Amino acid sequence: MIEYLNKKITFYNISHPIALRIFIYTFFLIIIIFLWFFSNFYLIPSLSNVNGARYLLSALLQSQAAIISIVITVSFIVVQLSSAAYTPKVIEIYKKKPGVWVVLMIFLISISYDLYILKIIQGDTSTISLKEEYLVSFAFWLGLYTFFCLIPYLIDVIHLLNPKTIIEYLVHEIRKDNITNDIDNPFQPIFDLIQVSINRYDLMTARSGLDEVYKKVIKICESLNIQYDESGGTGEINDITIIYVKHLLRCGSLAIRIGDVELATEVSSNIDKFGIYLADKRLDDSPPHLVEEPKLVVAALTDFALESINAGLDQVTDSILASISAIMVHGFDNDNKNLFIQGILVFEKIGKNAAKHEKRDILQGIITYIAKLGFESKMSEFNDGTSQALVGLLSLGVIASEYNLRDCHILAANEFRRLAAILDILIVLPLLMHSQDDFKDNPHFISFIKTFDPSLNIPITIEDLEKAYKKKSSSE
């Protein structure tokens, strides 16, 4: 129950701050008025003397002026510390919060009222009138009310030291009408905070920030009325993807530079979730081959993977490869075959980089991924995907041989053989003939072909293709 109320209060504090303050301060005021009314009309009031009334009012004036000045000064110090520690946007948050202005107004009203009552109490009589007693009594209760109003205000100020609170305020500022704003982009301050957290190895804050931004981006994407054009652009979704993924990559690059595997993996996971969402997002009238946003995400993950390989963070690279594979599968399930082809090309690019850095485990994993994708495309009768998988296996097998990664070279040749075995020989041989033109007299290409099939003549010729055709015709 307490947790539920806390969430509700936090929600209204961010989404409807003015309404929440009006409710809280009005509630306090009703209690104070009730207490004042009860003390004056149900209890017999004792009439104060003039000096005592003036002393009370003077004490209230001085205490209120001193307290509000101290509170505001401390608030500025807190805001300055929080701004220096996380993001300068904290100052904007503080300025926009109605709490400080409401409290100042309440104190000014109370101080002004005390000054007015102090002025009208005149004479040297020993006691004040009943009317003046009521006014002085109300000044006392109003002063007490101002002190009560400091409680929610101070809680608000203290919360500004909590990065989670700052994250919630910054995420709330992300709206569909400003999310693609180039001048004052709402992503910038919250990703500044996330990067500060990464530098401090503060996984909880960084993870909280990444999760909150992801939820808000998905919520905005869901609220957009998307229409796909002939070039594959989706307008706002495309712009959001570019900006959001760009900021995620910056965070990921920072995590890699400081060698934080856990934070880099967390960033990869967020890009993965967003890519899967885009791959799954389909409109009934949207041609799947025109949906470009998942390709942008895969391209970003490619750069991320290359950076992690260069930094030697194999665990991060494995996570990124799994993410790319998951996005490709979701895209393929949604009939986005262009994304599938791009994914195989991406694996090939990453695999070549892994070979250059002699990352055997990563290269073997990529070879296995490509082979798996090739079999899946064959089962779905997507021959272009299968052919691209064969090209990828061949290319990685050759480069593995170039860098003396014998185990990877053999694995690529074996997977190539397994995949070629379920294909028409008239698909495989032209592919090999075309590939040998690319590799020319590369001995590593020849080594791969001999590993694949020792009976093949090198170079592969038209005669080999004709023999294969005749053999196929006679067997049929």
Residues 266-312 pLDDT 10s: 888 888 888 888 877 754 445 544 456 777 888 888 888 889 998 88
Percent of the chain that is helix, strand, coil (3-state, to 5): 80, 0, 20
Q: Is the pTM of this model over 0.75?
A: no
Among candidate residues 28, 172, 171, 24, the one with its CA nearest the CA of residue 98: 24
Q: Are 96 and 162 a contacting pair, CB within 8 Å?
A: no
One domain for residues 419 and 287: yes
Task: Compare 87 and 107 and report the one with higher pLDDT.
Answer: 107
Is pLDDT above 60 for 378? yes
Q: Are 357 and 309 a contacting pair, CB within 8 Å?
A: yes
Task: Compare 283 and 320 and report the one with higher pLDDT.
Answer: 320
One domain for residues 145 and 215: no
Is pLDDT above 70 for 189? yes
Alpha carbon dihedral 53, 59, 60, 63, in 10-degree steps, equals 180
Mean pLDDT on 229-258: 77
One domain for residues 134 and 170: no
Mean pLDDT on 338-345: 80
One domain for residues 324 and 188: yes
One domain for residues 195 and 339: yes
Q: Of 140, 161, 182, which residue sits at a domain end?
A: 161
Q: Of 138, 161, 184, which residue sits at a domain end?
A: 161
One domain for residues 57 and 203: no
pLDDT on residue 69: 87
Measured CA to CA, the distance from residue 465 to residue 364 in angstroms comes to 31
Mean pLDDT score of the chain: 77
Is pLDDT above 70 for 450? no
Mean pLDDT on 211-239: 71
Range of the domain at 98: 2-161
Q: What is the DSSP letter of 162?
A: S
One domain for residues 54 and 185: no
- The number of distinct structural domains making up the chain is 2
pLDDT on residue 14: 59
One domain for residues 69 and 179: no
pLDDT on residue 374: 83
One domain for residues 213 and 108: no
Q: Are 304 and 311 a contacting pair, CB within 8 Å?
A: no
pLDDT on residue 413: 82
pLDDT on residue 289: 44
At 64-79, the pLDDT tens digits run 889 888 888 888 887 7
Confidence of residue 234 (pLDDT cuts 50, 70, 90): low
Confidence of residue 202 (pLDDT cuts 50, 70, 90): confident
pLDDT on residue 42: 63
At 8-46, the pLDDT tens digits run 555 555 566 677 777 888 888 888 888 888 777 665 555
Mean pLDDT on 431-450: 61
Q: How far is CA 466 from CA 425, 460, 461, in A?
A: 11, 11, 9
pLDDT on residue 443: 67
pLDDT on residue 438: 59
Measured CA to CA, the distance from residue 191 to residue 167 in angstroms comes to 9
Q: Of 126, 161, 196, which residue sits at a domain end?
A: 161
One domain for residues 220 and 77: no
pLDDT on residue 290: 44
One domain for residues 208 and 190: yes
The total of other beta-carbon atoms located within 10 Å of residue 177's CB is 7
One domain for residues 170 and 195: yes
At 98-122, the pLDDT tens digits run 778 888 888 899 889 888 888 887 7
pLDDT on residue 345: 85
